[in-house]
């Protein structure tokens, strides 16, 4: 078989989206050729890493929850970030951290966002739609 003319298969899905879909819970992210703190489900690490990414110019354009309960943060530049320290559903630190981050980037008020995220079932899977109904500080993200 002649392999010189073989065209390689290249997956369109990026590594972060694939890791999110496959339920990865621990990894070391790289942003602008610089290693960030290891993601391992800790709220503080996820917040620190995402704040650095946003400060570096990334603009969040979407948030999606996986069946593993992790959140994929999608940016306008096409990059994604697997946030293992965020969650929806039961009222815990991971929900509070996601609420805090989304309020910090202008998706609404902390109180309304937290009410929305905490009211979702623990097994929710899919996109998080902003703005939250009834919120007064809104920026549309789909």
Looking at the chain, list the stretches that DSSP marks H as alpha helix, in order from N- to C-terminal side: 15-22, 43-55, 93-104, 110-119
Which range has the worst mean pLDDT, 3-12, 34-43, 76-85, 118-127? 3-12
Token representation of residue 49 = 């890493």
What percent of the chain has a predicted confidence (pLDDT) above 70? 85
- Confidence at residue 78, expressed as pLDDT on a 0 to 100 scale: 87
Residue-wise burial string across 16-53, b where 16 or more C-beta atoms lie within 10 A, e elsewhere: bbebbbeebeeeebeeeeeebeebebbbebbbebbebb
Backbone angles phi, psi at 113, to 5 degrees: -65, -45
Q: What is the largest CA-CA distance in the chain?
A: 64
* Predicted TM-score (pTM) of this structure: 0.83
Residue-wise burial string across 105-120, b where 16 or more C-beta atoms lie within 10 A, e elsewhere: bebbbeebbbebbbeb
- Confidence at residue 139, expressed as pLDDT on a 0 to 100 scale: 47
Digit-coded pLDDT (tens) for 22-55: 999 999 999 999 999 999 999 999 999 999 999 9
Digit-coded pLDDT (tens) for 81-92: 999 999 999 879
Tokens 């309304």 correspond to 112
Average pLDDT over the chain, rounded to whole? 87
- Confidence at residue 2, expressed as pLDDT on a 0 to 100 scale: 55
- Confidence at residue 14, expressed as pLDDT on a 0 to 100 scale: 83
For residue 135, pLDDT over 80 is answered with: no
For residue 1, pLDDT over 70 is answered with: no
């Amino acid at each position: 078989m002649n392999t010189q003319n073989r065209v390689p298969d290249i997956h369109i899905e990026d590594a972060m989206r694939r890791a999110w879909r496959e339920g990865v819970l621990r990894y070391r992210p790289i942003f602008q050729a610089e290693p960030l703190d290891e993601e391992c489900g800790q709220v503080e690490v996820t917040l620190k890493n995402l704040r650095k990414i946003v400060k570096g110019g990334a603009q969040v354009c979407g948030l999606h929850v996986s069946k593993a309960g992790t959140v994929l943060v999608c940016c306008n530049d096409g990059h994604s970030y697997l946030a293992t320290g965020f969650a929806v559903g039961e009222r815990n630190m991971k929900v509070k951290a996601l609420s805090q981050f989304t309020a910090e980037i202008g998706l609404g008020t902390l109180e309304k966002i937290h009410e929305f995220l905490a009211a979702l079932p623990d097994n929710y899977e899919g996109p998080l739609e902003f703005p939250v109904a009834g919120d007064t500080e809104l920026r549309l993200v789909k």
